[in-house]
């Protein structure tokens, strides 16, 4: 399929599901990034001058990236790593790939590892909606996590929400048979939206509305609770 273009031939800007924040890091986060990124941040090929996209012709080999074959969890938007670091420490027998568009978040996460980086964690700096349709082989992941995505609460912005039919197809492709997509949000409207999308999506069935077993109380969750919002967890199984 050819890329969509404007009338004068320029490529159309893609609809982003994230708010692009500043790229400046605190000094200690930058120092951690400089020290650990060569080993833990996967250097992916990108289209010319693109910061958050991945060349669609590239496919990542998880076994080569982690140096072993193990159950793989893909976290979409790891932020500063609250869930990622907790889960990777709790399950050293699993591998965790964080697809995070915000480099300062990766830097903060690396700084929080301290002097003993977790060997079962890797990062790809990318827009997950663009990268994941082609980044990994089909059926590569045991679980996909989408915890507290940007809610885009205004009606005119809802087209930007990550969870939609196209991304559901992407996750279905990524998951192994009986694999699980885990979601969490502190916006009731987003929870209803996600359920509507996934109940309609082919190849998923609702497995649980209980808290994800490896999900700690994250900063996003704490902020939502402090603001009086209810936390919703959803787990959909690939069928």
By annotation, the residues acting in catalysis are 150
CB 167 within 8 A of CB 129: yes
The answer to whether the CB of 73 falls within 8 A of the CB of 145 is yes
Rounded distance between C-alpha atoms, residue 239 and residue 236, angstroms:
9
Closest CA to 132 of 101, 153, 156, 106: 101
- Contact partners, residue 96, CB within 8 Å, separation at least 6: 72, 73, 75, 84, 87, 88, 118, 120, 121, 122
Rg (CA), the chain: 17
């Amino acid at each position: 399929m050819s890329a969509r273009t404007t009338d004068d031939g320029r490529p159309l800007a893609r609809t982003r599901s994230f708010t692009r924040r500043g790229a400046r890091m605190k000094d200690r986060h930058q120092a951690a990034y400089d020290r650990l990124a060569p080993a833990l941040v996967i250097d992916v090929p990108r289209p010319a001058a693109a910061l958050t996209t991945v060349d669609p012709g590239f496919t990542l080999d998880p076994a080569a990236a982690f140096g072993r074959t193990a159950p793989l969890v893909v976290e979409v938007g790891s932020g500063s790593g609250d869930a990622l670091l907790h889960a990777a420490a709790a399950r050293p027998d699993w591998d965790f790939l964080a697809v995070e568009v915000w480099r300062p978040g990766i830097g903060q996460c690396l700084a929080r590892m301290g002097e003993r980086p977790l060997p079962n964690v890797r990062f790809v700096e990318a827009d997950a909606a663009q990268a994941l349709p082609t980044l990994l082989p089909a059926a590569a992941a045991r679980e996909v996590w989408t915890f507290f995505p940007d809610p885009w609460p205004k009606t005119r912005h809802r087209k930007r929400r990550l969870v939609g039919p196209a991304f559901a197809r992407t996750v279905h492709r990524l998951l192994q048979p009986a694999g699980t997509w885990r979601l969490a949000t502190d916006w009731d409207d987003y929870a209803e939206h996600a359920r509507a999308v996934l109940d309609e999506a082919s190849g998923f069935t609702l497995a649980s509305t209980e808290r994800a077993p490896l999900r700690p109380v994250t900063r996003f969750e704490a902020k939502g609770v402090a603001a009086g919002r209810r936390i919703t967890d959803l787990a959909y199984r690939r069928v």
